[in-house]
């Protein structure tokens, strides 16, 4: 990569770029030479209590999104005497707000280093979709009239699973979030390819009335063991 090229780019994901109405440009380029980049990933198992066991048996339901944390991003507009908030920070703030065209914040991709336009150029950092979940700005230089011209930012991103990710197999337990208007029969059809298996879900979740499901309710989908 030529020295004239930007060191890093955050870009609105292609499927969101054409619908997001708050942004004058779909990407932001900046110099990036971090002291550290932190990637964390965790999994919270569901504890299944069974009689006769001294400790609960762990069951996998779903993983937690990876977190990507950058140290200090330096934005310096002193040479041009321009407002660093207008030139840089304001664009990042929009990534934390619900966009009118999307009704949610946009998803982004992040690329850095050699091959930053290519998948795998910098491992985990250069792959996948993310939501920006945190922005911590520290303004460190001002013009005599109070205009901020230099700032350091700490940025946190949370992983968004790929849209093509295969759904959980019916022979593994997992959790389903109920959407408005969903029924147990519809959930059973989607999870097991058989609407008649709805009683299996009702029993696993202690549901007496299958017609009373609340939007956002989380249901354990038990496995069908073969």
Q: Mean of the pLDDT values across residues 161-189?
A: 75
pLDDT tens for 18-61 read: 899 999 999 998 888 777 788 888 877 766 555 556 666 666 65
CA angle 131, 67, 14 (to 5 degrees): 30
Compute CA 45 distance to the chain's CA centroid, rounded to the nearest angstrom.
20
CA angle 75, 80, 81 (to 5 degrees): 85
Cα–Cα distance, 46 to 218 (Å, whole number): 13
Cα–Cα distance, 26 to 3 (Å, whole number): 23
CA distances from 11 to 16, 43, 112, 162 (A): 10, 28, 12, 16
Please give the pLDDT value at position 120: 45
Please give the pLDDT value at position 112: 79
Compute CA 78 distance to the chain's CA centroid, rounded to the nearest angstrom.
33
Q: Mean of the pLDDT values across residues 156-172?
A: 70
Please give the pLDDT value at position 4: 47
Q: Mean of the pLDDT values across residues 152-171?
A: 74
Compare 60 and 8 and report the one with higher pLDDT: 8
pTM for this prediction: 0.63
Compare 162 and 222 and report the one with higher pLDDT: 222
For CA atoms 159, 92, 15, 183, give the dihedral sign: positive
* Residues carrying CATH 3.10.350.10, the chain: 174-221
pLDDT tens for 91-150 read: 999 999 999 999 999 999 988 776 544 544 455 566 688 999 999 999 999 999 999 999
Beta strands in the chain (DSSP E): 8-12, 27-30, 37-40, 46-48, 57-59, 67-76, 108-112, 129-142, 148-160, 174-177, 218-221
Superfamily classification of domain 174-221:
LysM domain (3.10.350.10)
Please give the pLDDT value at position 223: 84
pLDDT tens for 67-84 read: 989 878 889 999 999 999
What topology does CATH give the domain 8-160?
A: Elongation Factor Tu (Ef-tu); domain 3 (2.40.30)
Burial degree of 213 (CB within 10 A; 0-12, 13-18, 19+): buried
> What is the residue whose two structure tokens read 């696993």?
204
pLDDT tens for 177-207 read: 888 888 898 888 888 888 888 999 999 999 9
Compare 167 and 39 and report the one with higher pLDDT: 39
- Structure tokens that stand for 39 in this block: 């990637």
219: phi then psi, degrees, rounded to nearest 5: -115, 135
């Amino acid at each position: 990569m030529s020295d004239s090229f930007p060191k890093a780019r955050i870009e609105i994901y292609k499927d969101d770029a054409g619908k997001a109405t708050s942004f004058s440009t779909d990407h932001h380029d900046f110099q990036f030479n971090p002291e550290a980049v932190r990637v964390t990933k965790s999994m919270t198992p569901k504890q299944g209590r069974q009689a006769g066991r001294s400790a609960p048996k762990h069951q996998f339901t779903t993983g937690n999104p990876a977190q990507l944390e950058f140290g200090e991003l330096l934005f310096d507009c002193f040479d041009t005497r321009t407002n660093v908030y207008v030139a840089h920070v304001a664009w990042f703030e929009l990534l934390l707000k619900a966009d009118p065209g999307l009704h949610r914040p946009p998803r982004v991709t992040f690329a850095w280093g050699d091959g930053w336009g290519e998948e795998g150029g910098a491992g985990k950092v250069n792959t996948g979709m993310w939501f920006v979940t945190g922005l911590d700005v520290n303004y460190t230089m001002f013009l005599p009239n109070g205009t901020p011209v230099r700032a350091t930012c700490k940025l946190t991103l949370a992983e968004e699973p790929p849209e093509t990710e295969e759904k959980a197999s019916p022979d593994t337990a997992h959790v389903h979030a109920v959407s408005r208007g969903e029924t147990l029969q519809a959930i059973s059809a989607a999870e097991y390819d058989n609407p008649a298996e709805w009683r299996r879900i009702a029993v696993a979740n202690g549901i007496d009335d299958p017609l009373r499901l609340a939007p956002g309710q989380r249901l354990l989908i038990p496995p069908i063991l073969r």
